[in-house]
A and B are shown apart, each in its own frame.
Chain A
Amino acid sequence: MSADRKEATTGGRAGLTTRRAWIQGAALAWAAPMIVPARVLGLGGGTAPSNRIAMGLIGHGLIMGGHRGAMLGREDVQVLAVCDVVRSKREAAKDETERRYAERQGSGEYHGCEACNEFERVVERDDIDAVMVCTPDHWHAPISIAAMRSGKDVYVEKPMTLTIREGQLMRDTARTHGSILQVGSQQRSESGFRKAAEIVRNGWIGRVHTIYAQLGQFAPPDAPDPEPVPDGFDYDRWLGPTPWFPYSSQRVKGDYGGGWRRFWEYGSRKNGDWGAHHFDIIQWALGKDESGPVHFLPKGYNGGAHQLHVYEDGTRVLRDHPAPDGHMIHFIGTDGMVSVSRGDRVATTPGDLARAPLGPGDVRLYVSGDHRQNWLDGIRTRRPTICPVETGHRTATICHLSGIAERLGRPLRWDPEKEEIVGDPYAARWADRPRRAPYFL
C-alpha cells in the first residue's frame, strides 16, 4: 500500500495518533530546559506551542473553575477549546482563557480559544490531545467515550458514570484505545488517605471488619415548578439521555449542597457525590480496585439505622455512622483503628501508626502528590493513572448499587466478578438506564 493510499483510508485520525506520539517525545525538550533552553522553543521564552498538551475543557460549572485555573497557569498545557451548553458560561471561559494567554504572551491579544455548545466539536478536533469532562454525571460517559474513540486522553470528574453499564463500556473503550483516563477522585492523591490505606492494607490494625463513611445528606429531590428556558441555554442537550422534565433553574443549578446533584435522574445523590470519594478510598484500602462488595442494604431495611454494603469476607461499610472526631472514613480492625479526613488528618489506635515508616516487605501504594499532574504525566509516559478507568468504574458501581437498593427499598446481591445483580431480574434492569432519543451511546 502506498503511503498516500494508506493515509487516505485513515482520515484525520492518523494525524491525531501521530501527534500523540510526537508530544511524548517533544515534551522532553521543554521538560528539561537545561538541555534545550526554553527561549529557543518560542513564545517569549516559554514552552513552544507545539510541545504543549492541547486541551479541551468541557462543562464549566463549579469544579471546572479550579481545573481551568490550574490548566491556564501551566506552561505545558494549551487550552484550545471550551464547551458548555450555557452560552454565558462558555463565553466567560473563553474570555478568561484568551485573557490569560494574552497576558502570558505579553502581546495583549490572543484569539485561539474556540467556544462550543456541542462537545462533539471539541472531541472531533485533530489538534486536541486531551479533554477534561466536568459536566453533571449523566454526561460523563457519553463525552468520555466519544473522546477516547477520537484518540484523546480523558480526565473525568467523579463519579465516572451514571450507570453500571456505562462504566463497562467506558472500560472497554479505554482498553481498546489505550486511553489514559483519570477519574477525579482526588483523595487518592492526598498523602493522608494513602497512609490510611497503607495502614489497612498492611494489616497494621489487624483484620478490618467495619468501616464508617460519612457522606451526609442532600435535601430530598422534588419536582420544581417550570420556568422558561433562559436564552442561550441548550436545555435539551443539558438533559441529554435523561428523561424529559420541564426546565427549572433549581434542576440545573450547580451547587455542592444540592442543585442537580439531589436529583436521581442525574446521579446517585450523596452515594454518587461523596460515595465516589470515600467508597473509592475504602476500595483502595481493602485492595478491591478490581472487585467490589457482594451485598447492598438500604437504610431502614430490617430496621437497620444505616445504609450498608458488605464484602465477601464480611467487611461491612456503614454509611453515615458517626466516626470519632467527625472523621470522614473510619476503619475498625481487630487490632486497632484508623480514621482519615481531608487535609491529611489521620488518627490511629495505637497512636503512632501514621508516623511509622513502611517496612521492606510492606505494600506500597501508588504515589501521586497531585491528581492533575498525575494525569498529565500519564499522557506523556502512557503509565496508568492513580485512578484509572477500572478503578473509577468499580467505585462508581458501588455508588450506583447503593442508590438502586435505596430506590428499590430492598437489599441487592452483587457478583463483582460477573458484574451482575444476582437473583433479582427486575433490579438488574437498573444496571443501565434507557436513554432518551437521540442521545444514544
Chain B
Amino acid sequence: MKSSRSIGWAGAGWIFAAALVSGQEAPRNAGAGAGFSEALGSKLAELLAQAAAEPESARYAPRMELQALSAAASAPAAEEQRALWEQELLGALPQTPAPAAQVALVRQLEIAGHAAAAPVLKSLCADADPILRDAARRALEANGSEEAAAALRQLLEEAHNDDDRMRCVHSLGSRGDTGATPLIAPLLESPDTALRRTAAAALGRIAAPEAVAALLQAYEWEAERAWSTAETDAGKGAEEGETRIALGAFRRDLAEALFRAMTTLRKEGRQEEGVAVGRRLYDYGEPPEIRASALRALVEIDAPSAEDLVIIAMQSRDSEVREAAIQSCRAYPGNRVLPNLLAVKLAQESPGMQRQMLAVLRDSGETTVTRRIGQLLESDAPEEVRSEGAEVLAQLGGIEAVGPLLERLTSGDRQIRRRTLGHFAVLTGEGVEAELLKAAAGGDPERRAAAVSALAARGAEGLDRRLLEWVREENPVRTAALEALTDRASGAVLSAMVDLCVERGEEEDFAALRSVAGRLEDREEVVQIVSGRLASAPAERKAGLVMALARAGGPAGLEFVKPMLGIADERAGAIQALAAWESADACPLILETAQSEATAEDDHVRLLQALARLLRDGPGLEADAARRHALAGLAACRRDEERRLMFSVLAGMPHGESAAALLLFLQDDSSGVKEEAASALVEIAGKMKEGDRDAANELLDAVAEAPVSDEVKKRAAELRGGA
C-alpha cells in the first residue's frame, strides 16, 4: 500500500467506513492511522477482485461496498480522509488488470477523486477499452479540481479525431470551464456537424464573455452564409436547398446556445450582458421563432426592462412574436397596463389568439378588463371563444360582467343558459346584485327575465318577496320568476303559490305549485297549506290544488280528495289527483272509486293504471296488502286490457293466491288474455321454483296443458326442465 500516512479521524462518515471495512471501531487518534490504512487497502483489493468476478451477479455487492466507502470518504470536512481514499484507489489501479474492476475503480474516483486523480484519469482516457475510456472522461468531468479541467483541455488539444474532441468539449462545457473557451471557440467552424453543435452548447453553458462573443460571431456568420446561400440557391435544385437548410439548423443551434448563455448570465448576476445577447437575437431581421424565444428570454432575464418590448411585440405582424408577448404578460403579476393592452387588442385577434389572451387575462385577476371581454361576448367571435370569455368574466367578477352575461342568458340556447347561470352563481364584485336587481326591475322583458334567473342562481337573499311580485307580471318575467320559485321551495313559497293559483289559476302557475309541493319534504305542511285554501277556492281551481296534494302524497291529503269524489263538478279533478298520487296510501280509495259504477270508462282505466304503478313501484306497502289490492284490482277490471295490466302486476307477486287467480284465465275466451295469464304464471313459477319446486311445477304443467301458444309452452317446458 502506498498511503500509510497519519491522518486525523474526525468525520462521522469515515467512522462508518471504518466499521464497514474492519468491523471494529475506527481509530480516533493520529497514531492509530497506519493500521487502519492497511486494513483499508486490503479491503479495497478484495473488493476490486470481487468486482471483476464471475458471474456478473456476484459483482454488485462489492460495487456497492466500494460506493459506500467513496461516499463516506467524500463526506464534508474530511479532506484528509478523502485524500487517503483517493491515494488508495490510485495505488490500486496498476494492480487491477480486469476491465470491470478498473471501471468500478474509476467510478469511485468520479465520486471522491480530486486533483491527484486527474493525471491518472487523463491517461485512462486513452485506454483501448472504450468503456473505461468514457468512464475516465466522466470522472474527469465530475472532478472539481483545476487539474481535472487542465487534463480535459490537454485531451482536447491532443485528440486525434472529432469523436474524442466532442467528448472533451462536452465535459468542459458541463464543467463551465471558462479556460477552455479559446480551445472550443474555433470548433464552431468544424466541418463535423456533431462537433459544431457540441461546441456551441458547451460555449453557451460556459457563458464567459469570450464564449458569448464567439457564439455571436458564429451566429452572424451563419446568418450571412444563409443569406448568400439562399440567394445563390434561388431557382436551383433541391440539393442546394438541403444544404441551405442544414446551415439554418446550425444557426438555430447557435441561438439555443445563446439562450442557454443568457440563463447562465442571469444566474451569475450578469444581466446586462444577457440583455445585450437577447436584444441581438430579438433584432427585427431575425426569424420570428428566434425573436419569440429571445423575447421570452429577455423577460426572464430582466422583466422590468423588457416590458416596453412586450408592449411593442403585441403589435408584431408575426404571430409567433405576438404569442410570446401575450404569454410574457404572465411574468408581470399585479401589472395593470399589460392586461388592459391585451384587452384592447382582443377584438382584433384571431380566435386562437383570443383564447390565449383570455387565458392570460383570467390568470391576471385584473378586473378592469371586463368591459372589453364583455364586448367580445357580444361580438361575432366563435361561440367557443365567447364561452371562454364568459367563464373569464365570471372568474374576474365585477359589475361590468353583468351586462354581457345577461345578454348570453337571453340567447335561447339551453346549454349556454345553463352555463351562464353557473357563471352568475360564482360572480363576485361589489354592486353585482344591485345591478341585477336594477336590470330585473325594468326595461326589456327578456333582459328582465334573465336578471330574475341570475338573481335566483346566485341565491340572493330576500328574493322570495320580489319573485312573488314578478310572478304576477307578464311573460317572460313571470316564467323566470316561477322557475326561480320552484328552485326555492319552502312553506312560505308554497303558501304564496297557492294564493296565486287561487287568484289567477293558469296552468303555468299550477305546474310551479306542483313542483314546489313535490320538493318539500314535510308532507303535512303541504297538506296544511293547500287544504287551508281548498274550501274557499272556486271549484275550477280545486282540481289544480289537489294535484299539488297528489304530488306530495301521503294519507292526510286523501281526506280532502274523498269528499270531492261525491261532488259532480269536482269528481274529475279528484280522480285525476288520485291517478297521480305519489304514495300507495291511495290504493284503497283508488279501488273503491274504480269499483263504483259511476266511474266513467276512461277514468276507470286511468285509476287501474295508477293502481298498477303504485303496486309495482310505490313504496310503503306490505307484500300481503299489495297482493290483496292487486287481486281486488283484477276483480274490478272491466276490460281485457285492464286485466292484462293487472296480470303483469300479479306476475311480480309469487304467491299461491296470485297463481290461483291467474289459473282461472287459462281457459278464457280471449286468446290474448289466456296468453298473458300463462306468461304471468310462468314468471311466477320461475320465482317460486327455488322455494317450492312442486308448486312451481304444478303451475308449469297447467300452462303446458292450456290452449296457449307454443312459445309460452316452450318457456314453461324449459323452466320445468330446469326446475
Contacts and interface: CB of A to CB of B under 8 A. Distances in A.
B449 interface: no
B351 A437 contact: no
A187 B16 CA distance: 39
Q: What does DSSP make chain B's interface, helix, strand, loop or mixed?
A: helix
Contacts of B244: 8
A422 B548 CA distance: 76
B51 to A, nearest CB: 10
B131 interface: yes
A8 B142 CA distance: 41
A437 B259 contact: no
Contact of A10 (B170, B288, B326, B351): B288
Interface in B193-208: 194, 198, 201
Contacts of B260: 172
A28 B385 contact: yes
Contacts of B63: 223
B353 A410 contact: no
A21 B320 contact: yes
A344 interface: no
Interface stretch (A57-65, A96-104, A425-433): A425-433
Interface in A389-440: 407-410, 423-427, 429, 432, 434-438, 440
Contacts of A177: 293, 296
Nearest to B253: A149
Contacts of B139: 434
B72 A409 contact: yes
Contact of B296 (A32, A34, A175, A423): A175
Contacts of B320: 17-18, 21
Nearest to B76: A424
Given A28-B385, A225-B56, A243-B135, A21 B353 contact: yes
A24 B135 contact: no
A383 B357 CA distance: 9
A360 interface: yes
B319 interface: yes
A434 B131 contact: no
Nearest to B68: A409
B698 interface: no
A432 B141 CA distance: 11
Contacts of A384: 330
B380 to A, nearest CB: 11
Contacts of B60: 221-223
B59 interface: yes
Nearest to B318: A17
B170 A440 contact: yes
Given A24-B356, A409-B71, A440-B201, A223 B230 contact: no
B285 interface: yes
A175 to B, nearest CB: 6
Contacts of A26: 352
Contact of B356 (A222, A381, A436, A440): A381
B383 A35 contact: yes
Nearest to B387: A32
B603 interface: no
A10 B248 contact: yes
A256 interface: no
Contacts of A222: 57, 60
Contacts of B356: 24, 381-383
B605 interface: no
Interface string B134-167: 1101110110100000000000000000010011
Contacts of B71: 407-410
A177 B201 CA distance: 16
A434 B227 contact: no
Contact of B384 (A31, A224, A435): A31
B553 interface: no
A438 B201 contact: no
A9 interface: yes
Contacts of A175: 296-297, 300
Nearest to B133: A437
Contact of A441 (B74, B134, B201, B245): B201
A306 interface: no
Contact of A437 (B167, B201, B352): B167
A11 interface: yes
B287 interface: yes
A27 B355 CA distance: 11
A217 to B, nearest CB: 16
A14 interface: yes
Contact of A176 (B141, B293, B355): B293
Contacts of B428: 360
Contacts of B285: 1
Contacts of A425: 76, 144
Nearest to A124: B249
B296 to A, nearest CB: 5
A434 B174 contact: yes
B287 A14 contact: yes
Contacts of B370: none
Given A178-B324, A434-B138, A435-B170, A381 B355 contact: yes
B55 A225 contact: yes
B340 interface: no
A225 B57 CA distance: 5
A1 B57 CA distance: 65
B339 to A, nearest CB: 15
A9 B137 CA distance: 37
A32 B381 CA distance: 12
Interface in A309-356: none
Given A25-B353, A437-B163, A14 B297 contact: no
B327 interface: yes
Contacts of B75: 408, 410, 424, 426
B323 A11 contact: no
A106 interface: no
Contacts of B59: 223
Contacts of A178: 292-293, 296, 323-324, 327
A223 B56 contact: yes
Contacts of B174: 432, 434
B363 interface: yes
B138 A436 contact: yes
Q: Which of A4, A177, A382 has the most CB of B within 10 A?
A: A382
A238 B204 CA distance: 28
A177 B292 CA distance: 8
Given A437-B167, A440-B170, A224 B57 contact: yes
B695 interface: no
Interface string B227-249: 10111010000000000110011
Interface in B1-44: 12-13, 16
Given A21-B319, A225-B57, A360-B428, A11 B252 contact: yes
B142 A429 contact: yes
Nearest to A223: B60
A12 B110 CA distance: 41
Contacts of A68: none
14 contacts: A21-B320, A21-B350, A23-B352, A25-B350, A28-B384, A176-B300, A177-B296, A221-B60, A223-B60, A243-B107, A409-B16, A425-B76, A426-B74, A426-B112
Given A178-B327, A409-B72, A426-B112, 20 more contacts: A8-B229, A9-B223, A9-B227, A9-B287, A24-B353, A26-B352, A151-B289, A176-B259, A177-B293, A223-B59, A224-B56, A225-B57, A380-B355, A381-B356, A381-B358, A382-B327, A384-B330, A435-B170, A438-B167, A438-B194
Interface of B: 12-13, 16, 55-60, 63, 67-68, 71-72, 74-76, 82, 107, 110-112, 131, 134-135, 137-139, 141-142, 144, 163, 166-167, 170-171, 174, 194, 198, 201, 223, 226-227, 229-231, 233, 244-245, 248-249, 251-252, 256, 259-260, 263, 285, 287-289, 292-293, 296-297, 300, 319-320, 323-324, 326-327, 330, 350-353, 355-356, 358-360, 362-363, 382-385, 387-388, 428
Can you list the 8 inter-chain pairs with the closest CB atoms, starting with the nearest? A24-B352, A25-B352, A434-B138, A426-B74, A8-B230, A223-B60, A383-B359, A11-B248
